[in-house]
């Protein structure tokens, strides 16, 4: 089976992290995000993955190479200009010759795609879309389906009296090569707004699967933080190795936190429900809670960080306090006794 991951977006909602690296390789629990998707696809029986790239493509290629280390064949396609989701799928046409799993490259999930492909085949579908239920349907584009799973309608940001369901597009599809024939070549084209409405119009067999599994789009700062904390809270049942070095004995690290083994921790550092990336150094009495600290960052003595994302290679000087959804881009320097996110 083959798969294509759409990994070419600029990730504007995840700035500042995505200024220097593309969203698909921002790290979640200290690993470039796409590892989670690639391993999941491999588990579902996929032998070959195409990565559709556009924004900073060489950085993604550098991380995964030809996929040998992961035991999955990876090929890359770089669009001359961003072609949108369906346009990127069309751009891969010459490499697509069978049923294909298509993923947005920013979805963290543990849905069983082998089961989804099986159902897709049993139904003789041209397209199958994975849907997830949401609590607040008014904030999303909804996908209406019949009781036998047929896709009926796409409802974009419906008004309260138009809401007939609570299922949204999960950004994961199973498509037959026939779907390619409805997408124009070399033009920007979208699955949601163009290809899928066209499939309905053409009366192609178009089915849905409503998933109750873990699902999160990591594409905003708050969901990026959430994704990190959900992985370490084991919400996806992934295996995580948590190192506890003897040299960290005088620090207090809770059971959830994930601290890279290259990190230097001084006396009485407290780390709670957090992810600390490679080569960080955290000085005495600093307290970090519900946060992600990216690699090579130095945190000086008595700093407090809560519910925040601190980029790579930052310097947080002594006794600073950083709270409540603060997001610092790479190379930020914060001077002694600074206060961020604190009410005055
Ligand atoms: P925002 O700028 O924050 O909206 O993020 P984004 O650029 O990633 O857009 P969006 O979240 O809507 O994209 C969904 C998925 O499609 C992501 O995995 C993107 O990488 C991917 N994607 C979006 N546009 C393109 C494109 O033009 N080409 C390719 N190859 N992938 C794309």
Taking only the tens place, the pLDDT of each residue in 51-78 is 999 999 999 999 999 999 999 999 999 9
Q: Of all atoms in ligand 1, which is nearest to the CA of residue 217? A: 11
> Per-residue pLDDT for 318 more than 80?
yes
All residues at 6 or more sequence positions from 241 whose CB lies less than 8 Å from its CB, including other chains: none
Q: What is the DSSP string of 246-314?
A: GGGTTSEE-SS-EE-TT-EE-TT-EEES-EE-TT-EE-TT-EEES-EE-TT-EE-TT-EEES-EE-TT-
Cβ(2)–Cβ(96) under 8 Å?
A: yes
Largest CA distance in the chain: 67
* Residue 260 alpha carbon to ligand 1 centre in Å: 30
> Nearest C-alpha to atom 7 of ligand 1 is from which residue?
9
* Nearest C-alpha neighbor of 84 from the set 197, 185, 199: 185
Q: Of all atoms in ligand 1, which is nearest to the CA of residue 82? A: 27
* Nearest C-alpha neighbor of 276 from the set 255, 292, 300: 292
Ligand 1, residues at Cβ distance < 6 Å: 6-14, 23, 52-54, 79, 82-85, 88, 104-106, 219
Question: What residue segments make up the domains of the chain, in order of their start?
Answer: 2-232, 246-340
Residue position matching structure tokens 């955290």? 282
* Residue 100 alpha carbon to ligand 1 centre in Å: 19
| DSSP tag of 150 | B
> Per-residue pLDDT for 123 more than 90?
yes
Q: Of all atoms in ligand 1, which is nearest to the CA of residue 188? A: 27
166-183: pLDDT as tens digits = 999 999 999 999 999 999
pLDDT grade, residue 306 (50/70/90)? very high
> Per-residue pLDDT for 139 more than 80?
no
* Nearest C-alpha neighbor of 41 from the set 120, 129, 114: 114
User: What pLDDT was estimated at residue 251?
Assistant: 96
> Can you give the pTM of this predicted structure?
0.95
* Residue 234 alpha carbon to ligand 1 centre in Å: 27
Question: How is domain 246-340 classified at the architecture level of CATH?
Answer: 3 Solenoid (2.160)
Q: Of all atoms in ligand 1, which is nearest to the CA of residue 13? A: 3
* Sheet of 309-310, strands arranged across: 258-259, 275-276, 292-293, 309-310, 327-328
The whole-chain average pLDDT of the chain stands at 95
Residues composing the chain: 344
pLDDT grade, residue 49 (50/70/90)? very high
2-232 matches 246-340 in fold: no
> Nearest C-alpha to atom 9 of ligand 1 is from which residue?
9
> Pairing mode, if any, of strands 31-32 and 27-28?
antiparallel
Which homologous superfamily is 2-232 in?
Spore Coat Polysaccharide Biosynthesis Protein SpsA; Chain A (3.90.550.10)
Q: Which residues of 140-179 are buried (b: 16+ CB within 10 A; e: fewer)?
A: bebbbbeeebebeebbeebeeeeeebbbbbbbbbbbbeeb
CA distance 304 to 322: 6
* Nearest C-alpha neighbor of 153 from the set 120, 200, 194: 200
Identify the bridge partners of residue 101 per DSSP, sorted by sequence position.
Answer: 3, 174
SS3 144: strand
286-303: pLDDT as tens digits = 999 999 999 999 999 999
């Amino acid at each position: 089976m083959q798969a294509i991951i759409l990994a070419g977006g600029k990730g504007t909602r995840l700035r500042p992290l995505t200024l220097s690296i593309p969203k698909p390789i921002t790290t979640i629990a200290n690993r470039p995000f796409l590892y989670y998707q690639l391993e999941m696809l491999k588990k579902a029986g996929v032998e070959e993955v195409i990565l559709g790239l556009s924004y900073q493509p060489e950085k993604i290629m550098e991380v995964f190479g030809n996929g040998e280390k992961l035991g999955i064949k990876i090929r890359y396609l770089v669009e001359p200009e961003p072609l949108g989701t369906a346009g990127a799928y069309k751009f891969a046409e010459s490499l697509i010759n069978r049923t294909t799993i298509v993923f947005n490259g920013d979805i963290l999930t543990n849905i069983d795609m082998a089961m989804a492909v099986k159902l897709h085949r049993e139904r003789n579908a041209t397209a199958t879309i994975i849907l997830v239920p949401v609590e607040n349907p008014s904030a999303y584009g909804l996908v209406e389906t019949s009781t036998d799973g047929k896709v009926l309608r796409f409802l974009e940001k419906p008004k309260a009296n138009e809401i007939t369901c609570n299922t949204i597009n999960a950004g994961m599809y199973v498509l037959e090569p026939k779907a390619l024939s409805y997408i124009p070549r070399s033009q920007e084209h979208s699955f949601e707004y163009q290809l899928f409405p066209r499939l309905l119009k053409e009366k192609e067999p178009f089915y849905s699967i409503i998933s109750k599994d873990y699902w999160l789009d990591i594409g905003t700062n708050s969901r990026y933080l959430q994704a990190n904390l959900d992985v370490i809270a084991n919400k996806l049942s992934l295996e995580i190795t948590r190192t506890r070095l003897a040299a960290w004995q005088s620090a207090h690290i809770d059971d959830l936190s994930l601290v890279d083994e290259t990190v230097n921790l001084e006396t009485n550092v407290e780390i709670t429900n957090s992810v600390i990336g490679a080569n960080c150094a955290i000085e005495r009495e600093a307290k970090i809670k519900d946060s992600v600290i990216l690699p090579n960052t130095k945190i000086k003595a008595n700093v407090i960080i809560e519910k925040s994302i601190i980029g790579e290679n930052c310097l947080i000087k002594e006794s600073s306090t950083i709270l409540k959804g603060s997001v610092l881009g790479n190379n930020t320097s914060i001077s002694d006794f600074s206060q961020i996110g604190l009410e005055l």
